[in-house]
């Protein structure tokens, strides 16, 4: 079994419980964040940890998900919504229920894309999520495309 080159179909993804997709998506998102921080030159472990925790927190993930919504395909949006609407047993104190559900939806989406082998799409959405916004509240990379 090759756990790094998984390529499930959309039908197979739909059979996996949303919280299971969110579980793997949480790991995928955090690994992408950690990789980004190191590639940007952060190498002190304490700095890495603080920056990573700040980015992967539910409140931050919810804000990043809001930025992604306009760019999702119909099938991606369906996965996000199913993840967002999944019944969770608890919510961390630092996040509202809405933020936690939005973050769960983001994680489910990232988990599904990982399991479908959609690495290019994962990178595209991750880049958009991590991008700073311009004055029109649009990702800076889209400024020249409008």
The reply to whether 1 falls in a domain is no
* DSSP SS3 for 133: strand
Task: Give the pLDDT of residue 34.
Answer: 94
74 assigned to active site: no
Count of residues making up the chain: 146
Q: Is 42 a member of any domain? A: yes
Whether 106 maps to a domain, the answer reads: yes
> Which of 50-54, 98-102, 116-120, 137-141 is predicted with the least confidence, judged by mean pLDDT?
137-141
pLDDT in tens, 54-90: 999 999 999 999 999 999 999 999 999 999 999 887 7
Domain coverage including residue 74? 16-132
Place of tokens 């499930």: 8
**Would you say residue 69 lies in a domain?**
yes
Q: Are 67 and 128 in contact (CB under 8 A)?
A: yes
pLDDT at 90: 76
> Reduced to 3 states, what is the DSSP secondary structure of residue 90?
coil
Find the CATH number of the domain harbouring 78. Answer: 1.10.1520.10
* 3-state SS, residue 40: coil
What is the rounded CA–CA span in Å between residue 108 and residue 20? Answer: 8
112/105 Cα distance (integer angstroms):
11
Q: Residue 72: inside a domain, yes or no?
A: yes
Structural domain contains residue 114: yes
Taking the model in full, what pTM does it have? 0.87
Q: Let me know if residue 28 belongs to a domain.
A: yes
Tally of domains in the chain: 1
- The answer on pLDDT for 139 being more than 60 is no
- Average confidence score pLDDT of the chain: 89
Asked if residue 7 is part of any domain, the answer here is: no
Burial class (CB in 10 A: 0-12, 13-18, 19+), 5: exposed
pLDDT at 10: 92
Compute the distance between CA of residue 81 and CA of residue 73 in angstroms, rounded to an integer.
12
């Amino acid at each position: 079994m090759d756990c790094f080159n998984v390529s499930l179909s959309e039908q197979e993804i739909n059979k996996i419980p949303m919280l299971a997709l969110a579980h793997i998506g949480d790991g995928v998102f955090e690994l992408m964040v950690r990789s980004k921080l190191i590639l940007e030159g952060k190498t002190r472990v304490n700095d890495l940890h603080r920056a990573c925790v700040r980015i992967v927190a539910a409140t931050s993930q919810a804000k990043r998900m809001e930025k992604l919504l306009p760019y999702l395909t119909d099938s991606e949006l369906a996965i996000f919504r199913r993840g967002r609407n999944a019944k969770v047993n608890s919510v961390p104190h630092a996040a509202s229920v809405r933020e936690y559900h939005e973050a769960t939806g983001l994680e489910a989406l990232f988990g599904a894309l990982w399991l479908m082998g959609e690495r290019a799409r994962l990178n595209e959405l991750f880049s958009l999520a991590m991008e700073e916004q311009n004055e029109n509240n649009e990702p800076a990379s889209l400024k020249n495309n409008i």
